[in-house]
């Protein structure tokens, strides 16, 4: 039976396409979702693709992925990635569910406040700076672990 991967997106990612296109590119979040659905079909994976501007909703969805025995999580936590102990703890709470952190931009080449990730220490890996391709590469990586 096909396994499910949760693809979770944090604050302001609903603005992709309009938001700072010089940094984040011209694709909308719906375009990225379509790319993920195409790649998931090839990899025989099901996906739950979600976005919220609210930290608690992201925590709820990480817990849901654990309860529903999802095969993994791809998360672009947006700015919460730099600040959220709650997301860090939620990921620890669903261990050993594998989590891959994705950022469209290269957070290490940007302002110092973006260099820290609260997610990276509890993720199996992190992809940043590769734009929307980071999402499909993360799906490939999770599929390879199954």
- 32 vs 34: CA distance, rounded Å: 5
Residue 108 catalytic?
A: no
- The pair of structure tokens assigned to 54 is 């609210």
Is 82 labeled as catalytic in the residue annotation? no
Min dist. Cβ of residue 24 to ligand DQA (A): 6
Residues that bind ligand DQA (CB under 6 A): 12, 76, 78-79, 81, 103-105, 107, 114
Q: Which is nearer to ligand DQA, 46 or 130 (CB)?
A: 130
Catalytically annotated residue among 6, 80, 88, 103: 103
Catalytic residue, from 24, 80, 88, 135: name it. 24
Please provide residue 77's backbone torsions phi and psi, each rounded to the nearest 5 degrees.
Answer: -80, 0
What are the C-alpha distances in Å from 141 to residues 17, 55, 90, 137?
26, 26, 21, 6
CA gap 45, 43 in Å, rounded: 5
CB of 2 to ligand DQA, least distance (A): 27
> Least separation, in Å, of the C-beta of 101 and ligand DQA?
9
Which residues are tagged catalytic? 24, 103
């Amino acid at each position: 039976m096909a396994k499910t991967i949760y693809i979770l997106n944090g604050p302001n990612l609903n603005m992709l396409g309009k938001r700072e296109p010089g940094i984040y590119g011209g694709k909308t979040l719906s375009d990225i979702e379509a790319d993920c659905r195409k790649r998931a079909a090839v990899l025989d994976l099901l996906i739950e693709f979600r976005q919220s501007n609210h930290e608690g909703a992201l925590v709820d969805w990480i817990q849901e992925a654990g309860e529903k025995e999802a095969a993994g999580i791809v998360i672009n936590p947006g700015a919460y990635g730099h600040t959220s102990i709650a997301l860090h703890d939620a990921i620890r709470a669903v261990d050993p569910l594998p989590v891959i952190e994705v950022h469209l931009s290269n957070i290490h080449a940007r302002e110092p406040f973006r260099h820290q990730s609260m997610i990276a220490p509890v993720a199996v890996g992190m992809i940043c700076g590769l734009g929307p391709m980071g999402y499909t590469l993360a799906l490939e990586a999770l599929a390879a672990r199954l």
